[in-house]
Structure 1
Amino acid sequence: MEQETDVPTSYAALQAAITQRQASLSPRLRQIAEYALSNPNDMALETVAQIAERAGVQPSALIRFSKTLGFEGFTEMQRVFRTRLTDNMPNYKERIRALTDGAAGLTDGSRVLEHFIGAGINALEHLRQELSPEDLDGAIDLLEEADHIYVMGQRRSFPVAAYLSYALGRLGRRTILLDGMGGMLRQQVQAIGDRDLLVAISFKPYSEETVDLCRLAAENGVPVLGITDGTLSPILPLAGVTLSVEDAQVKGFRSLTATMCLAVSLIVALGQRLDKEKAGR
């Protein structure tokens, strides 16, 4: 017998419902939940068969997932995913489909560039729509108040971590880039205290080292600022403030367009605040 539940009617409510239920879902349904929140555009625009193939599950599992959330079937749930596009991003469906349909013909450098530009524009528009001013201000508060700022980002996230470390240093903030050179990561983090800040940047597939460090910091009462993707990110429950970014992707290749835009914005906003405080003294 299906568990009775309120049926989400908005994308925000659907996102919250999936997040709340993730711990009680079976491994297969949890796999769908992770895919759905990481790929809301696919959930809104593609068929059951296409989504099932990309998520690595059977179509029947998608229907079961929909019913777990209180929907009568997949189509009813898909309508809620579509509200995210129609309410916030006019013509988003057409632009997404144009990008996807044309991606098969990436035969020369100019076409590759064109598709990444299009994907980057969509990612930036999503960042503008989804990132709340409250979360952004909260992140700036943490960066301003910390005695020392430790920045961690592995693999694809490393360029963002390196930039933040450099730029924060230029603002006069005492900053340490946790690069783990020579296997010395544990030694690098031994001095982190509860008046410091850990900035952790990680995207799916998440860096085990970054997640482990976030867990260690949270256990020791160290504030964590997370820059990550999706409400199922393992960094989310460990961070006091999380800035969520869904960056551009073309044929499996992800850029850092929106993430770097966010990083630069944090630096400029923090710099402006520090200048105002200095002028007011």
Structure 2
Amino acid sequence: MADAITTRGMLRRMAGELENLSGELRKAVTYVIEHPNDVSVSSVREIAESASVHPNTLVRMARHFGFAGYDDFREPFRDEVRQGGTAFPDRARWLQSLAKGGKLQELYAAMAASAIENIEMSYAGSDALQLKAAAEFIVRARRTAVLGLGISSSLAQNFAYLTGMALPNISAIPSPGGTTLDDVGRLGPDDVLFAIGFRPYRTEVVAAVQLALAQGARVIGISDSPAAPIVTLAHIGFVAQSRTPQFFTSTVAVNAILETMVAFIVADAPNDVIEQIESLHNRRFRLGIYVEGSET
């Protein structure tokens, strides 16, 4: 039954039957309704102690609602945590509970499954034509500013670094010593702002997108929701799934989309781009920047 029900549906059913329950069972159900996140991260004894009931009462409660036992009852709540449907602190407590219970293999499997699912869903939500259009924006732009703050900062820096080997007019912002809005304020109709951001959305990034649009620049946005401001406002928007069992945002899928965009940019760039990239690497070897013999 655990695979066929959501925690929201389960809690609604429990609330609907609460008036018909009595004694210890009612106390247990009341506690679960009021503290649903605890179910996924606490043991049966911990829940029983917090609810002031005997552990067997929780087993009776689970069976009352059609589950084989308490572990079966708890599974939908744990699934929601694995899928990123609960708050950061609750996911953190769940991670710690796995370590204490010697269940890190479960965490390993959940991380692998969520990473693969995020990539699959992100590619399914995009297409080659959309990526090609974004690549053409960047290749034909006078200047492209790549914006990412917080966890997105390293993504923006890496994207600008890689594409900068092919095109000299791409840079990450904010620039050293500058501010985001100052950098965006220099963009015009021949330029592109590429904004990257995830929940909780930064007001500074949204303001930068709005300013770029007001100045006639083209905007590309990538975020974790089709309703994200930088996606809805952008000329071209991408959604990269970021669900994860842990409490930091997953960037596996957005990295995959960005790497694909880099490939499209190189493919769409002028014919001498490959020679420029090879020349750059050869120069680095001559100058001793790379370890000799580490060519790929």
Superposition TM-score tier, normalisation by shorter sequence:
0.5 to 0.7
Tell me the alpha carbon deviations over residues 84-124 of structure 1, each in whole angstroms, 9 at most, x when there is no partner: xxxxxxxxxxxx97982895453166554432221100101
Query: Percent of pairs identical after alignment?
Result: 21
**2:183 counterpart of 1:188:** yes
**2:27 counterpart of 1:48:** no
Corresponding residue for residue 117 of structure 1: 112
Cα pair 2:81 2:245 within 8 Å, conserved: no
Cα pair 1:198 1:222 within 8 Å, conserved: yes
Corresponding residue for residue 100 of structure 1: 79
State the 1:214 CA deviation: 0.0
Corresponding residue for residue 237 of structure 1: 232
Cα pair 1:248 1:257 within 8 Å, conserved: no
SS in 1 for 2:129: helix
Structure 1 residues 205 and 50, CA gap change in structure 2 (3 angstroms): farther
Q: Give the partner amino acid of 1:273.
A: D
Which whole-Å CA distance do the structure 2 matches of 1:162 and 1:195 have between them?
22
Corresponding residue for residue 143 of structure 1: 138
Corresponding residue for residue 160 of structure 1: 155
Tell me the alpha carbon deviations over residues 119-171 of structure 1, each in whole angstroms, 9 at most, x when there is no partner: 10010111122112332121111111111110101112112111111011111
Match of 1:170 among 145, 165, 168: 165
Unaligned regions of 5+ residues in structure 2, if any? 17-74, 83-93, 275-296
TM-score by length of 1: 0.60
Cα pair 2:145 2:173 within 8 Å, conserved: yes
Corresponding residue for residue 211 of structure 1: 206
The count of residues paired between Structure 1 and Structure 2 equals 195
Which whole-Å CA distance do the structure 2 matches of 1:97 and 1:160 have between them?
33
Unaligned regions of 5+ residues in structure 1, if any? 1-43, 53-57, 60-95
Which whole-Å CA distance do the structure 1 matches of 2:11 and 2:270 have between them?
49
Which whole-Å CA distance do the structure 1 matches of 2:181 and 2:139 have between them?
25
Q: Which 4+ residue blocks in structure 1 deviate beyond 4 angstroms?
A: 49-52, 96-99, 101-105, 108-111, 180-183, 275-279
Structure 1 residues 278 and 203, CA gap change in structure 2 (3 angstroms): closer
TM-score by length of 2: 0.57
SS in 1 for 2:109: helix
State the 1:51 CA deviation: 8.7
Which whole-Å CA distance do the structure 2 matches of 1:167 and 1:132 have between them?
22
RMSD across aligned positions (CA): 3.2
Q: Give the partner amino acid of 2:172.
A: L
